[in-house]
């Protein structure tokens, strides 16, 4: 049954190209030269903090915002001049936007009616869409009689019923509780795989984006900071913002000095870290590493090159690991050590030496 | 993360406020041809039937009779005439005193019902609205019967104690009738304000050692002040503009009656009626402006996370006795006009006696027989006026809230400005503007009953507009965007999503317009040219002029009260039901 349902609703996947988009509200430059190429059938995320422009960009694709410059192509054709009702991109709204004066079935039928689909066909596709989200028994209810998770599913069913070319999801999980969120995000991924729909997912939650998306565009302040798979973004962030937004990062200020032995990164407080020969380190570069890549030893007499001297300021038990706060010079760094029962722990005030293997060091520009 | 203060919803809202500037796609950013045509049609209507009449009044007041040159001599004449200055002072005095007495009635009721766990609260809140469903001038007649020089109360007082109280003497009568009639405006606003105060505000003060009357004076009253002022200014303006109540109580030296008498007795060419009209407009604009200025930046709705309202306290036995005493006394006062009217409508003769001599249904027979024309006219006029109002209201609300049409706010301002124009002024403006306009057969436009409908529609438009605004504001924009996203055009979206979701609010707006238009008198008094075109309120007024007509007049009054009560009940039920069916839909 499920296979035929999916087959009924599947459309051939298309690409979405965003080219040179600029958008301002008065003096507020909300999107700054945004360029993105989203592949057919891809589950793509716009990830960023509130106000970064991700929802504005999504609404632009749906036709609710107008760009000052640039264009949006779906399946290779420019849709920038089309009004929202001619674009054929399905959007699931953050608030679900279910019409309270219509039943669930009437909500799902709406888009088909607007397209002049014959009555019998509408009935068939409404049932198919509701089956797809497992709610065919609730077609006669009003939206207000459904739980949050059910409303979310109806919103998805209403959108996919019209077989849009592209599926846009505007923070679809934000109105669900934590447990539902994990379940629904898997369902969404499942559905997307079955329909093979090009899907764009807007979220501010890195975990949501990491767990279900093929690729992510990290946005901040109207600018696309980096595009890549979740793993690429985590391991090779392009700048400090991305490093900070995806996971925890330690950031050290300093300046590059050169002597006979090569280049060194002089960290505030006196320690020096060797700079690899191939690293590009213009002024303003910061030294970044993840907490789990560092090691701690009790302070010895002599520090090796690349090691930092500091003191434990506090510790937090995270279950699988212990996170230590280490004060080095003026900054506080985090170090995660695997937790083993019975192993000796560092206490606040202990003097320690912090070491990071050169391969785990990132040299990042500020933006 | 530092940008967390900014929210994604912000740009969306700003979009409506700032005209977008993208030349290539400007077509979709301003408005569709249909929207522009609609806006122009509304503007034309408002210009013809609101702006033009009021402008005419202003023009006549500020120009020399005959020549049309600008002059202030008419105002100089106004100031020099002792009668007019006394009328101005009387109007001001009566309005201020009515506010004071209305406050005396409203304050204890509002405080008792919001502050204490009080069994009578529901009764107070319901019966408190009763006066509003009766035109004040109808109440005036009934009040005469109870409280007049030879009314029931004074007859009994004279019998038992040998003295009388001049409740209804001269200006006192107007003040008495008006404060009993309009105090619900203060009660409603003040109760709402008290209920919106977060319990924590009061508890925080108690926690810091403040209690009793100090708590009321320093925390509760200041927080509720905006609500009180909103109600008080409304009462002031209503009383200042009211024409029929003073006329029926035979008080002529007030401004609105003077304007009416000037125009009807000396003629529409006499400038003094217009000068008085300007003074009336200025007074109501000032009163509204003062209350708006006082309210500015004081939106104290402090309730958070549901719940709220002042902590309700149990009353001690003494407090309960006192509380119920006050409530019973006030409600008796509130019910007096209704009771009096009912008795009068069945009375054979009621004169110089505490109660009527005998009872008869003859007055009703007369009302439903020869006078049924009044009822029919009223139903037609009020239905048409209400219909015009909701069509205009929905259109203006949609243009203002959902399009970026340049100058759309002007429609809103113009339509709302009708609030500041007293009915008698609008009536005078219509007479002057449209008497010269004649139809092919020679009848002047001002003599047609359509003019009454238009005046009623303009007068009630602000109320219908507010209802439509509120209804549209409750429809989340994303509900419309979802429809557009699924292929519905703007026009289809309005038809299938917006209007059905607004239906409850639209209907409530219609009922409000209908029921208030049904008992409106001040504009119609000027505009009714023949008895066959007269609505119910006019007929009532004519009946009440003579002692013999009081019986049928009272019967007509009872019909009016029932009509308005029915409408109020229906609109209440509609609003409740539509809120229930929508559930948590947005």
Beta bridge pairs of residue B313:
B116
Task: Tell me the mean pLDDT per 10 residues along chain B, length 586.
Answer: 36 36 42 85 92 90 81 84 90 94 89 76 72 77 79 77 76 90 86 77 71 77 83 89 87 89 82 89 88 70 51 74 84 84 81 72 78 85 92 92 86 87 89 80 77 92 88 88 91 90 85 83 84 84 80 84 80 71 47
CA–CA gap between residue B456 and residue B450 (Å, rounded):
10
Does the pTM of the predicted model rise above 0.90? no
Contact list, B8 vs chain A (CB under 8 Å)? 50-51, 54-56
Is the pLDDT assigned to residue A11 strictly greater than 70? no
Enter the tokens of residue B317: 């036995």
Chain B, nearest residue to A202 by Cα: B8
Q: Which CATH class is domain A2-229?
A: alpha beta
Provide the phi-psi class of B68: left if phi over 0, else alpha when psi is between -120 and 50, else beta. Answer: left
CA–CA gap between residue A307 and residue A294 (Å, rounded):
10
CA–CA gap between residue B337 and residue B145 (Å, rounded):
9
B98-B100-B102-B104 Cα dihedral, nearest 10 degrees: -150
Mean pLDDT in chain A? 88
Chain A, nearest residue to B14 by Cα: A25
Domain A250-364: assigned CATH number:
2.40.50.140
Chain A, nearest residue to B23 by Cα: A68
pLDDT in tens, A94-111: 888 888 888 999 999 999
On whether any CB of chain A is under 8 Å from the CB of B577, the answer is no
| Cα distance between the two ends of chain B | 29
From the list A56, A84, A142, the residue facing B583 with the nearest CB is A142
On whether any CB of chain B is under 8 Å from the CB of A100, the answer is yes
Q: Which pLDDT value is given to residue B10?
A: 36
CB B286 within 8 A of CB B72: no
Q: Which of B29, B25, B175 is nearest to B100 (CA)?
A: B175
Enter the tokens of residue A153: 């599913």
Q: Contact A90/B485, CB-based, under 8 Å?
A: yes
Write down how long chain B is.
Answer: 586
How confident is residue A2, by pLDDT bands cut at 50, 70 and 90? very low
CA–CA gap between residue A310 and residue A327 (Å, rounded):
5
CA–CA gap between residue A80 and residue A198 (Å, rounded):
18
On whether any CB of chain B is under 8 Å from the CB of A28, the answer is yes
C-alpha distances (whole Å) from B124 to each of B137, B180, B569 are: 23, 14, 16
Q: Which pLDDT value is given to residue A4?
A: 45
> Would you list the domain boundaries of chain A?
2-229, 250-364
CA–CA gap between residue B120 and residue B467 (Å, rounded):
30
Q: Which pLDDT value is given to residue B299?
A: 59
CB B269 within 8 A of CB B60: no
The DSSP line for A275-337 is: PPTT----TT-EEEE-GGG-EEEE--SSPPTT-EEEEEEEEEE-SSEEEEEEEETTEEEEEEE
Is the pLDDT assigned to residue A284 strictly greater than 90? no
pLDDT in tens, A14-72: 999 999 999 998 888 999 999 999 999 999 999 999 989 999 999 999 988 889 999 99
The DSSP line for B446-477 is: GGSHHHHHHHHHHHHHHHHHHHHHHHHHTS-H
What whole-number percentage of chain A has pLDDT above 90?
A: 49
| Cα distance between the two ends of chain A | 50
CA distance A278 to chain B (A): 32
- The helices-and-strands tally (H runs, E runs) of chain B is 28, 0
Domains belonging to chain B, first-starting first, are 76-115+126-316+334-359 (1.10.3720.10), 361-586 (1.10.3720.10)
Q: Which residue has the tokens 């002057």?
A: B432
């Amino acid at each position: 049954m499920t296979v035929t349902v999916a087959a009924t609703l599947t459309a051939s996947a298309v690409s979405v190209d965003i080219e040179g988009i600029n958008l301002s509200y008065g003096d507020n430059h909300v999107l700054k030269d945004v360029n993105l190429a989203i592949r057919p059938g891809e589950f793509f995320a716009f990830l960023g903090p509130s106000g970064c422009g991700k929802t504005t960009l999504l609404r632009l694709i749906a036709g609710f915002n107008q760009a000052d410059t640039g264009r949006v192509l779906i399946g290779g054709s420019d849709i920038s001049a089309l009004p929202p009702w001619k674009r054929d991109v399905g959007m699931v709204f953050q608030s679900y936007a279910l019409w309270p004066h219509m039943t669930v079935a009437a909500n799902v039928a709406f888009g088909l009616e607007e397209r002049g689909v014959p009555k019998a066909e509408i009935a068939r596709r409404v049932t198919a869409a509701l089956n797809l989200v497992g709610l065919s028994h609730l077609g006669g209810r009003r939206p207000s009689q459904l739980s949050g998770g059910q409303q979310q599913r109806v919103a998805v069913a209403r959108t996919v019923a019209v077989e849009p070319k592209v599926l846009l999801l505007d923070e679809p999980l934000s109105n669900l509780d934590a447990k539902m969120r994990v379940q629904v995000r898997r369902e969404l991924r499942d559905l997307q795989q079955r329909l093979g729909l090009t899907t764009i997912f807007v979220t501010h939650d890195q975990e949501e984006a990491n767990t279900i998306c093929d690729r992510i565009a990290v946005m901040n302040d109207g600018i696309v900071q980096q595009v890549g798979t979740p793993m690429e973004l985590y391991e090779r962030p392009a700048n400090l913002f991305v490093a900070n937004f995806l996971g925890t990062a330690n950031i050290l200020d300093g300046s590059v000095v050169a002597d006979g032995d090569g280049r060194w990164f002089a960290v505030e407080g006196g320690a020096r870290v060797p700079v690899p020969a191939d690293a590009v380190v213009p002024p303003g570069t910061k030294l970044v590493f993840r907490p789990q890549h560092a090691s701690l030893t009790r302070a010895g007499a002599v520090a090796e090159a690349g090691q930092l001297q500091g003191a434990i300021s506090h510790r937090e038990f995270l279950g699988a690991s212990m996170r230590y706060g280490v004060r080095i010079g003026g900054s506080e760094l985090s170090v995660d050590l695997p937790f083993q029962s019975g192993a000796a722990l560092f206490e606040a005030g202990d003097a320690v030496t912090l070491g990071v293997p050169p391969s785990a060091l990132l040299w990042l520009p500020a933006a | 993360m530092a940008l967390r203060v900014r929210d994604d919803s912000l740009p969306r809202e700003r979009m409506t406020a700032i005209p977008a500037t993208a030349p290539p796609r400007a077509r979709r950013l301003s408005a569709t041809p249909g929207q522009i045509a609609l806006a122009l049609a509304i503007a034309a209507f408002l210009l013809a039937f609101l702006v033009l009449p009021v402008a005419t009044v202003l023009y006549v007041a500020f120009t020399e009779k005959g020549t049309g040159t600008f002059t202030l001599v008419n105002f100089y004449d106004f100031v020099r005439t002792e009668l007019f200055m006394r009328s101005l002072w009387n109007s001001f005095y009566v309005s201020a005193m009515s506010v004071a007495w209305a406050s005396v009635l409203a304050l204890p009721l509002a405080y008792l019902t919001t502050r204490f766990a009080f069994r009578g609260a529901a009764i107070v809140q319901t019966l408190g609205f009763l006066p509003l469903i009766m035109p004040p001038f109808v109440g005036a007649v009934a009040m005469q019967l109870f409280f007049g020089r030879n009314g029931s109360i004074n007859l009994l007082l004279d019998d038992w104690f040998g003295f009388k109280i001049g409740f209804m003497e001269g200006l006192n009568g107007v003040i008495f009738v008006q404060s009993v009639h309009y105090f619900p405006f203060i009660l409603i606003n003040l109760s709402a304000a008290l209920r919106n105060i977060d319990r924590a505000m009061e508890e925080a003060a108690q926690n810091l050692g403040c209690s009793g009357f100090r708590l009321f004076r320093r925390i509760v009253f200041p927080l509720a002040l905006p609500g009180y002022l909103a109600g008080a200014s409304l009462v002031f303006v209503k009383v200042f503009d009211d024409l029929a109540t003073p006329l029926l109580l035979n008080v002529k030296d007030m401004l609105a009656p003077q304007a009416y008498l000037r125009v009807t007795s000396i003629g529409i060419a006499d400038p003094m009626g217009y000068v008085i009209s300007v003074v009336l407009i200025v007074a109501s604009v000032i009163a509204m402006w003062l209350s708006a200025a006082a309210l500015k930046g004081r939106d104290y709705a402090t309730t958070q996370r549901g719940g709220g309202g002042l902590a309700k306290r149990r009353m001690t036995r003494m407090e309960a006795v006192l509380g119920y005493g006050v409530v019973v006394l006030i409600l008796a006062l509130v019910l007096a006009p209704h009771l009096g009217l009912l008795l009068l409508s069945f009375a054979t003769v009621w004169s110089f006696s505490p109660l009527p001599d005998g009872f008869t249904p003859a007055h009703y027979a007369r009302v439903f027989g020869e006078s049924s024309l009044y009822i029919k006219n009223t139903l037609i006029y009020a239905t048409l006026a209400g219909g015009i109002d909701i069509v205009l209201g929905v259109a203006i609300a949609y243009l203002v809230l959902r399009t970026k049409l340049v100058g759309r706010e002007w429609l809103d301002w113009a339509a709302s400005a009708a609030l500041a124009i007293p009915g008698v002024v609008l009536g005078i403006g219509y007479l002057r503007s449209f008497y010269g306009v004649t139809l092919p057969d020679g009848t002047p436009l001002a003599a047609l009953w359509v003019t009454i409908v238009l005046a009623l529609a303009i007068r009630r438009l602000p109320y219908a507009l507010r209802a439509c605004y509120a209804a549209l504001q409750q429809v989340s924009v994303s509900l419309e965007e979802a429809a557009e996203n699924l292929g519905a055009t703007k026009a289809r979206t309005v038809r299938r999503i917006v209007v059905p979701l607004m239906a409850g609010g639209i209907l409530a707006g219609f009922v409000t317009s209908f029921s208030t238009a049904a008992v409106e008198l001040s504009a119609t008094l000027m505009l009714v040219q023949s008895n066959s075109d007269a609505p119910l309120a006019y007929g009532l007024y004519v009946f009440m002029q003579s002692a013999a007509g009081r019986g049928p007049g009272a019967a007509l009054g009872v019909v009016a009260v029932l009509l308005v009560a029915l409408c109020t009940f229906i609109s209440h039920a509609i609003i409740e039901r539509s809120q229930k069916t929508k559930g948590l839909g947005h």
